[in-house]
Structure 1
């Protein structure tokens, strides 16, 4: 077994690439080519322009299966567009007297360094996968035909891309094929990605595989043909020259979106901790202690990102009891104290979770985490419940502002919660987060019927 991490590293590599590239273009400009410019103005203008340009041109969307020619094409397009941006800056500040030849030299040298770094990182990561076995993904294929054989050959003959192909399931004799045995193999071997040939599978089998992938946090992709795939969002990718379809596109899997959300979480949680919790915590602590014996904070294990358990913190709102980790508070629950009713009604009891956000276990906005016992129960009975664990859990979420907070009284409550959570995961944006936070604040002031 490899000593190195299985999975993706792009969440770390792309932000680092942004920082290095920005350091190159700003450092060369200020220290060598444009020494007479005002540094702050240039850095702000060029850095913002570079980030916006990179997002629109997909300059940093380089994956393990991306070909060198694609990387070169992305770099060439970025260089041309960046040249226009620099000329726009020089034209606006025409009094700088910067000659065109100087701009061309600056852009050329900058991109030689950037491309050199980009390809060095690309080849080093391939060497790392081949020699040390890190950054790999285990795969299986459902269906055997020419297309799946080509994909299998791609996996086995290109170890530098970091795929370890474990098995191809032949569905020629559909009566003898037992999907449950296939699913058990995937669990036993800790498979990461499932690839399906649509032409080899029936519609019911596709639905069963999609449900299994969602409920077990597996990436599901398809080799397309002329059959329909019932999905709202499909994403095309190419492995060498083999087209692959991804059933679910999750915006927060994009490294830049992950960085934006994490920066927002750190800034927002820090402001709440400094300006609210710093003085509110002692007051709440005194009120809790005056009414009942026990700790000020309540700690509970919950499932978070990728189903990992973490300790979720709250202000204690109940008298200490052995059932606190098993049963949710219900309407008129005798375990809830007087101060507990107030802090639960106003959601003040949730505020310590901003420390969970700062530590990286949670996000300000996301699917609400459940108790471990409840997660296990709902995962078995509620379809697609596990999809919620593709992102970090949140202090508040779209389901909570849509009437699905608090006690789960019927299966309809949890099904509605999962529906809104999946919509949030597939349609995340920073504006959506801000809307949810605003609505949560308004609801806290007004009070909610299920906040008990």
Structure 2
């Protein structure tokens, strides 16, 4: 017995056929719903059933929709597995198709009968109908096929376990993969297992990877080999340069357009904010100067993007010469170093306002992981000694506010868990960044400007 086999002759090739049938079903239902939407829109708008122009417009719109929907992967494995993705692609397809249809009508000189209201109604009805159909279809697919319509086979051959929902798992016994290429019967057995699979993943010892790779290439399947060493490196892709294969272990978290949008938002907020808040900032500067005659700003080196240091500005809230540039001592609630005006501006977060200048200099962003002082400690350890992932938070510009702050992670880090909570939030922000997410964090910041841990 070469393999502990579960259903070696399961008709996995039929899965691909079923997917094709589901794609055709989706396409047919989409076509019916689109035409029905134009029929309904014409009746609602003009009260004529059917409205000839609405039907003609539907026939013109339908082929455009189908072509764009195919290009936008509306009929794909992911479109079957994830209803949110499916609905998102439908929205994009309807918008693009609507714009193209409008252009066609304009150039066909049929604008005299054209109604933007009727087209909008038809697109709205189409969206509602197709979205409901996608949700219902996804529920039926999950009931019939499990979490995915992809056929995945996991071969366990002495490597670490792999957990993929819905995947078939087989374990090797006495089969010697080293002799597989000289054993037609063994190759036949493996080939029958792999036939029709969308993915075959092998977890094996390092000395057997090349043999499994050869077998999977000859079987003509998408083959993947789990590597603990690569997993420890955190590799995210494989690049080829000539005849050399290179592992990609890191990449910038944001694409160029995302960095551009984020910078535009920073400037759009910072410039008006500096203008509007300048009277308040001048008043605070005057009060700080009047209290003890010392400098207005506290300048402290902090770690910024790319692990590069920059001088972060704050309104000085402690007595002259009492500020801790290294940040080794966290400020406590009854800290005797804090001045009277300092206590107020720290409690209300006004002391952070000069960092708008750092944002203007492009050293910081409005939203991002908060920059920490180099000597900051959690318990008895420096921040980077608590978790090796700490430095990864510097892949984006530090922010005036961030996800950790709106979740209430502020103030002294008295225990290691306090730092871990902040780090987890920062890494989540970097991983899941969206412009809308930044906007939500900015709005949520208003709730935590005055915070019990701000002292």
In terms of Rg, which structure is larger? 2
Q: Normalising to structure 1: TM-score of the pair?
A: 0.49
